[in-house]
Chain A
């Protein structure tokens, strides 16, 4: 810049050579913006195909059960031998809360427990990776119909699968299976803690070396909810030991007290899914 050139912001014109330099800076800034924006947009981790049917209420009929988690046994179709098949559809509440409160209120209104009763509820479906959940919100007046006579004909398929040691991630199922993307991992940690503290049934997500994913419901050794104990281990790689029991299409892990351990460190350059692999746990469970 020669002596005659001096930029003063409040003057209407910048000196010619400076103005030319300014234009170069602006072009460079646009290139920088474009480069960074492109890199970050293209190289984000892929989001899951999980769905949350926001604003769309669906009526679902099934047999309610409160154990291992509040859920509906929903008949899908009869197989070739005429046997009915069911899927278990865990229920979750509105926002970051479990469904127990809503169900308890409905039970109080009807003056009987809904366990093993066929009920029809309307709610918002969320689903991903072969699992379907239903959000019920008391503002939607979710209970459409409830049969007063319980259903005793249908028994859950229960199978003891032995003791297992698994490495995976504790997550809240509502966000993971539909509401949020990403619905797991460190960015989602606070939300998962709030959801699980709010009564959402925690799910243990395990991905083995072949990329196969498995999801387990978590209870303590005595079969009680353990949401409070899990708070410090949510949304990070942890290992645990548990007795595994299959209830129809979900496996419940009765987690041994004191067996949960953090396994992950800083993961800036790691392949994330490797952090939660654990050999081939599914083979020992299925």
Chain B
């Protein structure tokens, strides 16, 4: 969390994260290169670069796409999410090297501009087996490029979190393009099914993780609240909410987090202003609700980030009757002060 923009707001955890990324990439290149040179030594330098970077990029893309649902299923994986953008930029860098080398290898030194050649060499767009798979890779790379250059918080704030998030959801389109790029490209050439098996395993793993996460969220979101009184909805008993933690309730399609802080309950909108993280899965640290994704903080009584930060979320009225928690789902303006509900007879 930073009040001003710097290229990278380095801290110890980010450094560890990036060292792990560097270690993973180095390990992959070392293993792939050495084994290829030992067992398939006729490979050319260009092909070695093209293959090692592409396979690593596809592997990193699977890891990146798995992080979101893993975190929704188990918050132990949240450290993977913290610096996921650096993993994304690394993946893009690998894909870019692959793209540049491929463009040069297959299209340069010809009678057409390489970028023009990319689209006019193979024009069998109506044939599945003969489909120009390189164009698919180009468009996937374009999406990754847009994501990489807008990955900084500067763009997140200037584009607005909603636009930024929507734009970054195109990663799923890019993933589809990458899968088809592989399936209609190199897999048409390779005789060993290992690549097909790995791609299908990756797709299946991602599909299962996303479905499991979606089911879990659907369970929370589909909870019915039948008891209503003067605009308030009965949501749970006080004892169900741990101190410094929250429970999330979805009422009228809005997720609201009800936090227990010291001797009071407070309700705020569940969506963090930074990247849309689930505030209700966070914790109160130093008197502030702390987002589990990147540590953005809000005061429970008014939904405002402590100065000098300026983020604000909506607040809600909450009350307690006979240890039962009642929540009014009508939001107050972002940053509105609410006194919360006093918990009596605390045990």
Q: Which of B229-246 contact A (CB under 8 A)?
A: 242-245
Q: How far is the CA of A273 from the CA of B189 in the complex (A)?
A: 10
Q: How far is the CA of A83 from the CA of B78 in the complex (A)?
A: 79
Q: Which of A45-90 contact B (CB under 8 A)?
A: 45-50
B106 touches A190 (CB 8 A): yes
A188 within 8 A of B: yes
Interface code B125-140, partner A: CB below 8 Å = 1, 0 otherwise?
A: 0011110111000000
- Residues on B with C-beta less than 8 A from A36 are 28, 55, 59, 198
B32 touches A232 (CB 8 A): no
Total residue contacts A-B, CB cutoff 8 A? 211
- Contact flag A9-B76 (CB < 8 Å), given A30-B24, A190-B117, A271-B191: no
Contact residue among A8, A42, A264 (Cβ-Cβ distance under 8 Å from B290): A8
- Residues on A with C-beta less than 8 A from B9 are 10
A236 within 8 A of B: yes
Residues of chain A touching chain B, judged by Cβ–Cβ distance below 8 Å, are 1, 3, 6-14, 18, 21-22, 25-26, 29-30, 32-34, 36-50, 94-97, 180-182, 185-191, 193-195, 197-198, 232, 236, 262, 264-273
Query: Would you give 21 A-B contacts (Cβ < 8 Å), ordered by A?
Result: A8-B295, A9-B11, A10-B295, A11-B295, A13-B12, A22-B79, A25-B77, A30-B24, A34-B31, A41-B32, A41-B40, A186-B133, A186-B186, A186-B188, A187-B189, A197-B112, A232-B123, A262-B130, A267-B188, A268-B188, A268-B193
B107 within 8 A of A: yes
Residues of chain B touching chain A, judged by Cβ–Cβ distance below 8 Å, are 1, 9, 11-14, 20, 23-24, 27-28, 31-36, 39-40, 42-44, 46-47, 51, 55-56, 59, 63, 75-80, 82-83, 105-112, 117-118, 121-124, 127-130, 132-134, 183-196, 198, 242-245, 282-283, 285, 290, 292, 294-295
Residue of A nearest to B14 (CB): A9
B116 to chain A, nearest CB (A): 11
- Residues on A with C-beta less than 8 A from B122 are 189-190, 193
- Contact flag A266-B188 (CB < 8 Å), given A9-B83, A38-B35, A95-B109: yes
- Contact flag A97-B11 (CB < 8 Å), given A33-B28, A42-B35, A186-B188: no
Main secondary structure of the interface of A (DSSP, over half): loop
- Contact flag A9-B294 (CB < 8 Å), given A40-B195, A48-B42: yes
A3 touches B245 (CB 8 A): yes
B294 touches A187 (CB 8 A): no
Q: How far is the CA of A29 from the CA of B90 in the complex (A)?
A: 15
A8 touches B106 (CB 8 A): no
A18 touches B43 (CB 8 A): no
Q: How far is the CA of A262 from the CA of B80 in the complex (A)?
A: 48
B195 to chain A, nearest CB (A): 7
A216 to chain B, nearest CB (A): 22
Q: How far is the CA of A216 from the CA of B156 in the complex (A)?
A: 59
A151 to chain B, nearest CB (A): 33
- Residues on B with C-beta less than 8 A from A32 are 59, 63
Contact residue among B11, B47, B51, B191 (Cβ-Cβ distance under 8 Å from A180): B47
- Contact flag A25-B80 (CB < 8 Å), given A95-B109, A97-B111: yes
A6 touches B186 (CB 8 A): no
Q: How far is the CA of A41 from the CA of B106 in the complex (A)?
A: 22
B189 touches A181 (CB 8 A): no
- Residues on B with C-beta less than 8 A from A45 are 189-192
A50 to chain B, nearest CB (A): 8
B110 touches A97 (CB 8 A): yes
B189 to chain A, nearest CB (A): 4
